[in-house]
Structure 1
């Protein structure tokens, strides 16, 4: 069975909601899907000052669980932006993959990206684009979703996160905006889309 790993970081819950939909999309294609969050790098005191809610119950992808990345046919990463680039927590996870980089164990694996930003000019595309450097050094094959979600992607009636690189959501400058139904649907589509490609790529279809 094709294995899909969804790895995310979420401080205020926006990316977590998107990640759950990515999982549902991948499961709808009959894939085995596992969901992990990356380790937190901030202290409890700092998180309290930032008014961050408690972490979800999803397992944490600690160093000793990096074999999950090796076992997967595709990995879909989700994270919020920090000034137009991935958050430090996700970068720290990538920084810890030196042993897999040196041994080439992630070469040829498919990868996708979904993001959240505070505002419409906050880096929906630059966050994904700059993250691709991590995938390139690991030898992973980036799978963009393009405009495969349909004609509503061209609509201007309401704000909608995401780009040709992958799904996305806007949190608002104060974090009060939650992912819209359209954004959640797009995240589910991304999970399904990458799962279909992974099944073909792994010979399980």
Structure 2
């Protein structure tokens, strides 16, 4: 059995929804199990509540050490000025001991994201996460153009060859569309298939 971890941070619930779709895609592959974890929130509860953060998320909080237990890790983080949100960066910055012993070398990695606008830094956020995965010696997998939903021009959609994504709108009112969710499922399934081949 190959094990996939979907590790995410979500302020308003958009990436929580995307993470569930990624995990659904991964778990649809026979011989693969998928777990969802979220990284700790670094904003105080008082500030989070005042800012309308979605605090009632089902996923358990991840520990750094458990990352080594998985054959694939798919990371979801919101875009902040063209890079991943600081909560995810803070978590990943604690993975030095895993790096030091090569605990993630040869595992499969991928990323997904969300931004307020169509050109809000999604691709740079994804590639910055890829850089971290590559420093760990992981095999980076994106969202290939065989998922043709990312090529649609009849509606606003997320997605790029670097990973699945969604667009939230400036006020956060747009939740992931079915096309965005299809992209997330596709990426989860694609990564799980590769992890299973490498695991076997």
Q: TM-score, normalised by structure 1?
A: 0.94
What is the CA distance between 1:54 and its match in structure 2?
Answer: 1.9
Give the corresponding residue for 1:126: 124
Q: Tell me which of 113, 116, 122 is aligned to 2:114.
A: 116
Contact 2:112-2:126 within 8 A present in 1 as well: yes
Alignment partner for residue 73 of structure 2, among 72, 75, 84?
75
Q: Deviations over 1:12-71 (max 9, x none)?
A: 0000000001111111102111110001111012112321122302110134xx2x2111
CA distance, structure 1, for counterparts of residue 135 and residue 191 of structure 2:
21
Answer yes or no: is the 8 Å Cα contact 2:143–2:159 preserved in 1: no
Tell me what 1:16 maps to.
Answer: 16
Paired residues, number:
199
Unaligned runs of 5+ in 1: none
Residue in structure 2 matched with residue 202 of structure 1 by the alignment? 199
Unaligned runs of 5+ in 2: none
Aligned to 1:62: 63
- Structure 1 counterpart of 2:170: 173
- 1:154 deviates by 1.8
**Which residue of 1 is the match for residue 48 of structure 2?**
47
Moved over 6 A (4+): none
Tell me which residue corresponds to 2:6. 6
Cα deviation 1:132-166 (Å, max 9, x = unaligned): 2211221111111221212x432211110111011
TM-score by length of 2: 0.96
